[in-house]
Each structure stands twice: as C-alpha cells, then as structure tokens.
C-alpha cells in the first residue's frame, strides 16, 4: 500500500501522490500506525513503538473493559438463555480476560458471543 508520510503517526493515501513521495507499507501495519508502529521520518521507514510495561497493561485493561465486561455484565435474563456448555465457555473466556495482565494474551471470543 503506497502512502505519503505526513508525520510520525499519520499518513495520506491519494492516487495523485507521486511515487517518489511515498513508501510502501503492509495494510496490516497501516492500521496499527500510531499504536504499535510509527514512521521514522529520517529514513522513511516504519518502526515498532517500544511500549512500557505500564502502557501495555493499561491497553490490556482498556480492551478488557470494552470487549469483556460489557458482555459478562449483561444480567440474569441473558444468562438464563445460555446452555451449560455456553456458560462454561463464557466462564473460561472471562477468566482468561481476568488473567490478561499476567498472560498478555487476548483471549479468543467464543464464536456464539455477539
């Protein structure tokens, strides 16, 4: 994906940009610019951002809040619609989220969860 570097954490995409003004980056990385990657302006390359342990833990807790707690706090009416297998799977997923600051692994959401 050809992009024009605007600053350390932003880029532009336009058919009218001249190729010599652009660099080629992977689309997967493009979506992570400013979070996990930044541009090295001097060398016109993409480099990983070194995050502190505190920043990593903060981001994990933030994701847990958004992705997990909104589901597990749905209430009794919702829980009563689940099968025993779903309850067990939900409990395992929830525990994995509670442990995420130790494991640093984002748990895979059960396929039936919406």
At 35-90, the pLDDT tens digits run 788 999 999 899 998 989 999 999 999 999 999 999 999 999 999 999 999 999 99
Please report, for the chain, the start and end positions of each structural domain, with discontinuous segments joined by +: 2-48, 53-103
Backbone angles phi, psi at 25, to 5 degrees: -130, 155
Mean pLDDT over each residue of the chain, to the nearest integer: 92
Is residue 22 within 8 Å of 4, Cβ to Cβ?
yes
Token readout for 93 is 């997923």
pLDDT at residue 80 in the model: 97
pLDDT for the residue numbered 27: 87
């Amino acid at each position: 994906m050809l992009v024009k570097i605007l600053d350390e954490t932003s880029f532009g995409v336009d058919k009218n940009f001249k190729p010599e003004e652009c660099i080629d980056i992977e689309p997967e990385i493009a979506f992570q610019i400013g979070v996990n990657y930044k541009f090295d302006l001097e060398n016109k390359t993409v480099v990983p951002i070194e995050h502190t342990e505190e920043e990593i833990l903060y981001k994990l807790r933030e994701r847990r809040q958004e992705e997990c707690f909104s589901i597990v706090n749905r209430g009794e009416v919702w829980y009563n619609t689940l099968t025993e297998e779903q309850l067990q799977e939900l409990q395992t997923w929830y525990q994995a989220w509670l442990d995420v600051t130790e494991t640093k692994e984002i748990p895979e959401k059960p396929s039936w969860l919406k």
